[in-house]
Chains A and B, each alone.
Chain A
């Protein structure tokens, strides 16, 4: 059972990091960024090329993935989302824009990077072994520990940024009430761009981090977006702690479910449980605006 819990903790930390970026964009702009998974995929490819192909150290390649995706986020927000949000009166338009950007990125990636799964050498090699897994023992690879550690670090850094810095407070203010924030002198346009950039950068960092253990391919985005969306719905859209809790819950549900039930039943149960849960808590666990 200990191995199952370790599997759940690893999945949970990774899922939380993925969900955070999606919830950040939603809290600031009220946009469900369906291209979040594709941004994760691009982050994976940035690290694949910089670290895997051109030999740049991983500790430089990973931040580079965050920066590249942050810049893509700025461009997407400035040229796609802000014009649509400024002129449209219906929320569906921004959703359609998000779906369109997702398809754009996926097809672009397929053309540029090909159809194959790509992988990179392990950043740290080695494994802790405490007994035989078949006899109830536990194993934990150094790679998984690194991923878990960096994911937790990134989450803590984001929470610290949002809580204790001036731009972070501006983000929370915009998330709570755009007009009031504007009256208080917050530059809403710049702040929303920053929020979108951070959301995209988080997706890029998650993709860049996970390419070291899972690899990446051009079509990976849709599944990532779907799972991120489930986590955000469980925790409450736009709430940081909701995304973290949603990620952890899904991670443990998956790990424990696979241990108890046949694989196909696990996700069936997860979806049924989510539907029942949303019937009673339609806003998720912490269905409040950011902060």
Chain B
């Protein structure tokens, strides 16, 4: 009996300090958000910008002590995985993220990887926000993916109409990166341009990813004498080289793309030869950015070192996820609640300065349901080292 008392006292003496150490010091709840996309190789900027944007949003909220959801403060934690634009890796990343209980994943970046992870996300009762344009990701019966930006087939017709009416363009040549996404965008662009009555001088020309000398491929395009060249699905690394090569070859017409670009890259690599180049913008163009956007840019610079204009289209996804979770905290563990909220959710766009622009889920006209982040449709023109906003629109809903 005495021995037992001694043993009990000894165990208590050992356990007491351990228990004090192990006691929760108000362990903060964590909201984990996944990022799955290409973060290495030539297209690294696409996925890395997604990652940096999510991390910056997390920094902004965490600096204020976390995000308030249902009366609880959550620290936001970003779990980012590189899929190298490889569908197999993208699937294993999605499986890893969902197995950790993550319900909301930003990415992937291209059709092949986004389509590959679709069943994984659906099976795990999670949601993802790809930056790929394949309509089958967003149209019923698909219901787990939300397009994170403006699609090429939404902005293309508006751009071609602008070129036709304002710049007097009568003929267009299309040039795509030799990848499924870019080629789809090329086909859709060709159809849209035809509907506007424009003559198509080249509709199947492509270049290999990794091409650096665009003189050969553009020589052929320029021989078809188009008024404008549309670069379908062009990567930010390729756009300045294509502009430069076209101008060096004496092309005097318009150049445009339906993807987001970075003004610093254009200025450094192509300089004045990129003047007049049209591309898609986000919330970052100086003409429309709010104080919150300016603060976001500073936070992004603090984390990454420099701003990337491409990020202007990618600031929205996590902001919108958080806003929906704040509106209905039950969505934190149940994506079905989130999906119901998407139908009616609306907030003031915090990144646009007028305070009247709405940020909501859109895309009903293209996908039959609200499965797209309502990023403002901004078209920029590169001019003397910077982007100038040509016009701002909204996606038809």
CB distance from B248 to the nearest CB of A (A): 5
Q: A115-B48, A116-B264, A262-B204 are in contact. Are A106 and B216 (CB under 8 A)?
A: no
Instruction: State in angstroms the CA–CA spacing of A129 and B40 once bound together.
Output: 39
CB <8 Å contact, B213 and A118: no
Mark out the residues of chain B between 214 and 244 whose CB falls within 8 Å of any chain A CB in the assembled complex.
215-217, 219-220, 222-225, 236-237, 240-241
Secondary structure dominating the interface of A: helix
Task: Out of A8, A134, A210, A263, name the residue touching B217 (CB < 8 Å).
Answer: A263
Residues on the A chain within 8 Å of B208, using CB: 263-264, 266-267
Tell me if B213 and A10 are in contact (CB < 8 A).
yes
A35-89 CB contacts (< 8 Å) to partner B = 52
Report which B residues bind A (CB closer than 8 A).
39-45, 48-49, 178, 204-210, 212-213, 215-217, 219-220, 222-225, 236-237, 240-241, 248-250, 262, 264-265, 268-271, 304-306, 308
- With a cutoff of 8 Å between Cβ atoms, the chain B residues found around residue A222 in the complex are 41-42, 210
Interface set of A (CB-CB < 8 Å, partner B): 3-4, 7-8, 10-11, 14, 52, 106-107, 110, 114-122, 127, 129, 132-134, 137, 139, 141, 144, 210, 213-215, 217-220, 222-224, 226-227, 254-255, 257-259, 262-264, 266-267
Known A-B contacts A115-B49, A116-B308, A219-B40; the reply to A214 vs B206 at CB < 8 A is no
* Bound-state Cα–Cα, A264 to B176, Å: 10
- 4 further interface pairs, Cβ-Cβ under 8 Å (given A3-B219, A11-B213): A116-B262, A214-B212, A220-B210, A222-B42
Which of B210, B215, B224, B268 contacts A10, CB < 8 Å?
B215
Q: Are A115 and B45 CB-contacts (below 8 A) given A134-B225, A214-B212?
A: yes
Beta-carbon nearest neighbor of B47 in chain A: A115
- Are the CB atoms of A263 and B178 closer together than 8 Å? yes
Asked if residues B43 and A7 are in contact (CB atoms below 8 Å), the reply is no
CB contacts (< 8 Å) of A217 on chain B: these are: 42, 44-45, 237
Question: Which of B49, B210, B216, B248 counts the most chain A CB atoms within 10 A?
Answer: B216
Q: Which of A106, A210, A258 contacts B40 (CB 8 A)?
A: A106
Partner of B269, one of A119, A127, A139: A119
**Closest residue to B262 on the A side, CB-wise?**
A116
- Determine whether the beta carbon of A129 is less than 8 Å from that of B250: yes
Enumerate chain A residues within 8 angstroms of B215, measured Cβ to Cβ.
3, 7, 10, 144, 255
Q: Chain B contacts of A139 at CB under 8 A? A: 248-250
Q: Which of B40, B249, B269 contacts A215 (CB 8 A)?
A: B269
* With A7-B213, A119-B265 as contacts: A263 and B206 at CB distance below 8 Å: yes
Q: Are B42 and A127 in contact (CB under 8 A)?
A: no
Chain A nearest Cβ from B338, distance in angstroms: 30
Whether A118 lies near B268 (C-beta < 8 A) is yes
Closest chain-A Cβ to B190's Cβ sits at a distance in Å of: 13
